[in-house]
Structure 1
Amino acid sequence: MMNLEQLKDYLTENKVVFELQEHEQPLAGAKDAIRYFDAELVAAVYVINTERGLAAMVVNAGRDSMDIESINYVLGYKVKGMADPKLVKQATGYEAKLLPLIGHNLPILFDKGMTIHDYIYGNTGDPRHTIKLRPEDVIRLNKMLAFVE
C-alpha cells in the first residue's frame, strides 16, 4: 500500500505526467467523483474473485454492470463474483471503495472504452485526493490481464 507521497514519488520515478486534485470533502469512491468530473472520464476500480485469485477491473464509473460471461471468455477462466471488501483490504491494504488506479498490486482488466481518452480520473487511496492520469500509464504501471468491452 502506498500513501500519497509514495504514490507521487512512484509516478515521478516512472515518468508519469499526473495531476492530483484535493477535495474539501472526502469522496466515498468513484461514484462520488462524478459530481466533480465528467462521468466519461472517471474510472472505478472493482475487485473480482476469480478461479486464479483476485483481479481488479478498471472501468468507467458510470457503468451499471459487466458481462461476466464475456469476462470469463477473455480471461479463459471463471469469475466467481465480486470480492469481499474485507478480502480486498487484506490483499491490498486499501478500502475496496478507495482502491487506487495504481499501487494496489492486483492484475487488472481495463475498460477498452477508457483508452480513447487523453486522461482519466481515479482514486489514489486517499479519500481527499483524485488523480488525473493517461490511460496508457495506468495500463503500463499495472500487470495487465486483458481489455474488457
Structure 2
Amino acid sequence: MDELLAKLNQYDVVYEIIEHTKQIHSAQEGAEYFGIDIGQTAPTLIMKTDKGYYAVIICGDYGRVDLEAMKALLNVEQLRLAKPNEVEQVTGSKIGSVALINSGLPTIIDKQLFRYDYVYGGTGVPQTTLKLPPDAIVQLNEIVGYLRADS
C-alpha cells in the first residue's frame, strides 16, 4: 500500500482510504456496505492475453464483460481472466483486493465510471477501499482503451 499512497500523494489526488472490518467480496456487497450506487464500485479485473496482462476497471453495474469486444479493442487472439496465482504474481495482491492503480500494467477503464464524482475500489490490501474521482484513475494508470465509450 506504500507505493499506492506515494503515487496518490505525488500526483496530489483527492482520495480517501477507508478501512472496514469485513472483506468485501462483490460489487453488490460494496454498494450495500458503503451505502452507494452499485455503479460507483470499481472492481479491477486482471486479464491474460497473448500479448501479456491487462487491468480492466469496470463499473460495478456492468454485468458480464464482453470478451469478444475486449479482444477487438486490444487486438488480441486470446483473452481470459487471469488465474488467482497469476493475479497475485502480476499485482502482488489477491483477487478481490486488486488496486485501482497498477503502475506499469496497461489498463482499460469503463467509461460509465465517469457518471460519478467518486468511485470505490481496491487498494491491494484486504479490508481497505480506495475512494477517488474516476479522472484520477486515468491520471495514475497507463490507459490503453475504454469500455462502453459510446454509451
TM-score by length of 2: 0.87
Question: How far apart, in 2, do the equivalents of 1:63 and 1:131 lie?
Answer: 19
Native 8 Å contact 2:47 2:82 kept in 1: yes
Contact 1:124 1:131 in 2 (8 A): yes
**Unaligned ranges ≥5, structure 1:** none
2:8 corresponding residue in structure 1: 11
Partner of 1:23: 20
State the 1:74 CA deviation: 1.6
Q: CA 1:36 to 1:79, structure 2 compared with 1: closer, same or farther past 3 Å?
A: farther
Structure 2: gaps spanning 5 or more residues? none
Question: Would you say the 8 A contact 1:43–1:61 is kept in 2?
Answer: yes
Mapped pair 1:67 → 2:69: no
Cα distance in 2 between the residues matched to 1:48 and 1:94? 15
Distance 2:46 2:137 in 1: 16
1:95 alignment partner in structure 2? 94
Q: What is the RMSD of the two structures over their aligned residues, measured on CA atoms? A: 1.7
Number of aligned positions between the proteins: 146
Cα separation, partners in 2 of 1:108 and 1:31, compared to 1, 3 Å: farther
| 1:51–1:6 distance in 2 versus 1, CA, 3 Å | closer
Q: How far off its partner does 1:57 sit?
A: 0.6
5 Å matches for 1:111-122? 111-122=110-121
Compute the displacement of 1:9 (Å): 2.6
- Structure 1 CA distance, aligned partners of 2:61 and 2:140? 23
Give the AA of the match of 2:93.
Y
- Residues 94 and 104 of structure 1 are in contact (CA less than 8 Å); yes or no, is this contact kept in structure 2? no
The corresponding residue for 1:43 is 42
CA drift of 1:96 comes to 2.1
Say whether the 8 Å CA contact 1:48–1:79 is kept in structure 2.
Answer: no
Q: TM-score with structure 1 length normalisation?
A: 0.88
Q: What residue identity is the alignment partner of 1:144?
A: I
| Corresponding residue for residue 56 of structure 2 | 57
Q: Percent identity?
A: 29
Aligned to 1:123: 122
Report if aligned partners of 2:98, 2:123 keep a CA contact under 8 Å in 1.
Answer: yes
